[in-house]
Structure 1
Amino acid sequence: MIPLRTIQASNRLIASDPPVFRNPIALFVGATSGIGEATVKQFAQHTLALRPRVYLLGRNSDAGHRIVQDCQALNPTGEFHFLPVDVSLLSAVDEISAMLLKKEPYLNLLFLSTGTAAGKTETRENLRTLTSLLYYSRLRFTINLLPLLQSTPPGHLRRVISVLSGGYEGPIVDVADLDGRRLSMREFRGQVSSATTLAMETLAEQAPTVSFINQYPGTVRSGLFRDADSWYGWVVWAVLLVIGWLVYLPTREVAERHVFLATSARFQARERAEKQRVLVEGVEVARGTDGRVGSGVYSVWWDGETSGEEVMEILRGLRREGMREAVWRVTESVFVRVTGKVRVEV
């Protein structure tokens, strides 16, 4: 476990490392409550005087505009913009992506934390809402915005974080049911986490100067289970209602840890376009999902440690079965079916 005081020491270096963080541009997808809201506020605080430009996406306009005002108060030098959008729709993801590709010269950070506990609803694009929010729309944003991430000035940060279930990768991925319609929620978590990590490995080959993180945030107070529509979701909601105060991680600590994930040299790209930054004492470059140190893709537990040998063996097995390639083929085929193209075109 990386202690909170070490996390905070690393975060305090952000403002003193201008070659990496000058004028950062960041996109927070799912930022109107919970983890996204807390993290974007911490990011605003830690980038004081660095003139960040930050975009927040979410469905709740009232919350979005309130959070923009909060961030502006925390960091008067920054620009904070809220864009109301339902990112469960890939067409909406493409619209936002096209706007950013036209408007912005680069992107330093893509932070993805959308979620729902509703397992039975579907989008009007005939995707399971749960899978669209946790997997398809996140991958669509990442693929669409890779050109901006790769256009970041030499020496500057380039990173994608998906707050999901790193460390819970499962040994079975059914590419015939990547939506997970026939799976229990526990089985689905293993599948979507493995699919995310494997897709990130493919993306890291396409964009080796960008680092990718699949992270499990721990048990956090949020409104995630307000949409629950299954016995599993109701049980979890009821249990947390009773004992949540015993197991919830402090929201501020969770946000600090996510800012650390977003900025620390611990999680390097496989080809380092970033300046070689000095790590704070007690922090080393992490081991990637292929078992090599600094290999660019990381499955990360809530405490900042990367997944252990059990997860590494599961991923090795999936690669031997050709699942990385199979997941990518199915993901691209879904994108083409829904939008008519593999990625947005500008």
Structure 2
Amino acid sequence: MVELEKVRSSNKQVSTVLPPGLVAVYVGATSGIGELAMKALVKHSVQPRVYFVGRSQKAADRITSELKALNSAGEYIFIQADISLITGVDKVCQQIKARETAINLLVQSQGSMDMSTITSEKLRFSISLVHYSRARFIANLLPLIQESTGIRRVVSVLAGTKEGNVHVDDIQGWNIPLMSMRGHLATLVTLTMAHFAEHAPTVSFVHDFPGHVRSNFGREMKGVLKALGKVYQVVSPLFSTPGEEVGERHLFYSTSNRYPARSRNPNVVVPLPIGVPVAKGFDGKLGSGVYSVDGGGDECGPSVVALLGDLCQKGTVEEVWKDVAGEFIRITGVEAI
């Protein structure tokens, strides 16, 4: 584990190492981990311009007020959207691209445990949010991230280090047992990042598991799962990671040279704290550009490295992307806007 004090010491350098005017996009940031991560960035950066995407205008109004209190010199733009729809993602990205020529940071934490709803685009609601929506945001915004003269990074919050067997013949998980879904989805997220990293070696990709965090878990569940969600809400304060720590750790994932891009230049990142090494990527190689990390910021272990390595050798990255691209073209006619 990366000690919390070292995380904090790194984050304190954000305001002096990174140039003013950092541009960040937070998706799924009107509650939970996304909100905590965004507030940590705003607290530590100079004149940030932050776009945050979610469904609730009421929550956004509250958060905007709190962001201004944390850093009055920043600019905070809320975009209300249904990002379970690929066309909804495109509308958000069109608004951002109309205003920006470069982006430093994309952080995504959108998700749902609603496994029964089907979107109007004929995608399973939960899988659309966790997998297809996240992939579409990266596909649409990656050219702007590559244009940045400073830090270039994508962070996805889900289940890093929890990767498991992936079912390329059932990407949406219609026939996958619930207990196997986390491993399936985690692998989809990591392998999708690996696809993008091949085309953008100066961008760093981090897939993290946040640990146990108080959130709206269970809000959209139905039946027995909804009851389990309510139980979780009651007992989670007993073992959850404090919100302040969650925010600090996600700022560390977003800015530290512990997670560098495969090609270092021209990235400007916060230097490593004393005693903290560069992380190994999901392929087991130091600083290889795509990282699967746990709640303490440590990289995935040998068994996960072996699993993902075997999948890469079998061409699973290409199979996963073929499915993603096929759905994008079916829904919108293009792989990206």
TM-score by length of 1: 0.94
Matched, 1:6 2:10: no
Matched, 1:285 2:278: yes
Distance (Å, rounded) in 1 between the aligned partners of 2:141 and 2:26? 13
Aligned pair in 2 of structure 1 residues 15, 277: CA closer, same or farther (>3 Å)? closer
More displaced 10-residue stretch of structure 1: 123-132 or 268-277: 268-277
Aligned pair partner of 1:335 in 323, 328, 335: 328
Aligned pair partner of 2:76 in 75, 80, 88: 80
Q: Secondary structure at the match of 1:21?
A: coil
Q: Does the CA-based 8 Å contact 1:210-1:269 persist in structure 2?
A: yes
**Amino acid paired to 2:169:** A
Distance (Å, rounded) in 2 between the aligned partners of 1:51 and 1:101? 20
Distance (Å, rounded) in 2 between the aligned partners of 1:283 and 1:16? 20
Deviations 1:247-293 (A, max 9, x none): 11111111110011111111100001214753111211110011111
More displaced 10-residue stretch of structure 1: 96-105 or 216-225: 96-105
Shift, 1:133, TM fit: 0.7
What is the match of residue 39 of structure 2?
Answer: 41
Aligned pair in 2 of structure 1 residues 338, 261: CA closer, same or farther (>3 Å)? same
What is the match of residue 156 of structure 2?
Answer: 162
Distance (Å, rounded) in 1 between the aligned partners of 2:140 and 2:291? 21
What is the match of residue 256 of structure 1?
Answer: 248
What is the match of residue 185 of structure 2?
Answer: 192
**Amino acid paired to 1:163:** V
Q: Which runs of 5+ in 2 are unaligned?
A: none
Distance (Å, rounded) in 2 between the aligned partners of 1:135 and 1:244? 26
Aligned pair in 2 of structure 1 residues 242, 30: CA closer, same or farther (>3 Å)? closer
Deviations 1:115-162 (A, max 9, x none): 111111111111111001111000100010011000001xx1000001
Matched, 1:265 2:266: no
Matched, 1:212 2:205: yes
**Amino acid paired to 2:325:** E
Residue pairs, 1:18-167, within 5 angstroms: 20-47=18-45, 50-153=46-149, 156-167=150-161
Q: Does the CA-based 8 Å contact 2:68-2:74 persist in structure 1?
A: yes
Shift, 1:102, TM fit: 2.4
**Amino acid paired to 1:169:** E
Distance (Å, rounded) in 1 between the aligned partners of 2:268 and 2:58? 39
Matched, 1:305 2:303: no
Shift, 1:82, TM fit: 0.7
Q: Does the CA-based 8 Å contact 1:165-1:214 persist in structure 2?
A: yes
Shift, 1:184, TM fit: 2.0
Distance (Å, rounded) in 2 between the aligned partners of 1:296 and 1:78? 29
Shift, 1:245, TM fit: 2.5
**Amino acid paired to 1:192:** L
Q: Which runs of 5+ in 1 are unaligned?
A: none
TM-score by length of 2: 0.96
Deviations 1:302-325 (A, max 9, x none): 101011101101101212222111
Shift, 1:31, TM fit: 0.7
Distance (Å, rounded) in 1 between the aligned partners of 2:145 and 2:66? 27
Identity %: 40
Q: Does the CA-based 8 Å contact 1:21-1:157 persist in structure 2?
A: no
Aligned pair partner of 2:289 in 289, 293, 296: 296
**Amino acid paired to 1:58:** G
